[in-house]
């Protein structure tokens, strides 16, 4: 097995120490950081994402793999910056105001990171203005909002309206998701994109960022 395959395989199993060891080994072998990211870490994460979409693996496996991805990326980050590997876009993500559910949101964040996107995570219970300020400060292309409660999903309309009323209206897209959210609701409030799960959200975000 090549070192890149070893990274992919260890990531799919969520084996953090092995992922770190193989990423360092690949660097020592002189493999460029961008290649390690794409063909090692992202390749493993994409396999997990597909399996998750097809109900072949479930939330715990995805969270463990995502944590391994994040630890591997930590080692690569300085090399990627030095090598000038561009992030593919910037997303500001959070769970809307009044809502403390973050398991789904965290999965979406990790899947997006797995696609090479930079993700600014504002956490839970995020007021509208924090989404906008973070998008402005980080020059983001996407505001991604998660809501799990029927009592909080209305916040998404406020976010869409606030973006529409701002100078970012032609630049920032609003993505929404969470258990009570539907395509009909997305259409109703004029959000740019609804996706039902984390893997699809990451695909859609990448498509929005790379045009």
Please report, as ranges, the residues that interact with ligand B1M according to CB under 6 A. 59, 98-105, 107-108, 144-146, 148-151, 175-180, 195, 197-198, 201
CB of 172 to ligand B1M, least distance (A): 13
Q: What per-residue string of b and e applies to 26-41 under the rule 16 or more CB within 10 Å gives b? A: bbeeebebbebbebbb
CB of 137 to ligand B1M, least distance (A): 19
Greatest alpha-carbon pair distance for the chain in Å reads 54
CB of 45 to ligand B1M, least distance (A): 14
Q: Output 8 or 146, the one with its CB closest to ligand B1M.
A: 146
CB of 48 to ligand B1M, least distance (A): 12
Q: Output 40 or 104, the one with its CB closest to ligand B1M.
A: 104
């Amino acid at each position: 097995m090549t070192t890149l395959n070893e990274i992919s395989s260890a990531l799919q199993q969520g084996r953090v120490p092995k992922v770190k060891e193989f990423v360092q080994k690949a660097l020592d072998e002189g493999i460029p950081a961008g290649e390690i990211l794409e063909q090692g870490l992202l390749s493993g994460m994409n396999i997990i994402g597909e399996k998750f979409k097809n109900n072949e693996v479930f939330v715990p496996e995805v969270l463990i793999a995502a944590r391994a991805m994040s630890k591997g990326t930590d080692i690569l980050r300085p090399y990627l910056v030095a090598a000038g590997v561009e992030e593919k876009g910037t997303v500001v993500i959070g769970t809307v105001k009044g809502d403390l559910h973050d398991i789904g949101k965290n999965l979406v964040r990790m899947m997006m990171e797995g696609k090479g996107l930079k993700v600014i995570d504002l956490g839970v219970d995020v007021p509208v203005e924090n989404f906008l300020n973070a998008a402005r400060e980080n020059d983001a292309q996407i505001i991604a909002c998660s809501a799990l409660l029927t009592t909080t999903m209305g916040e998404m309309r406020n976010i869409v309206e606030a973006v529409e009323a701002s100078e970012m209206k032609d630049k920032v897209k609003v993505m929404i998701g969470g258990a009570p959210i539907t395509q009909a609701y997305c259409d109703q409030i004029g959000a740019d994109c609804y996706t039902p799960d984390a893997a699809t959200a990451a695909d859609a975000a990448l498509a929005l960022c790379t045009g």
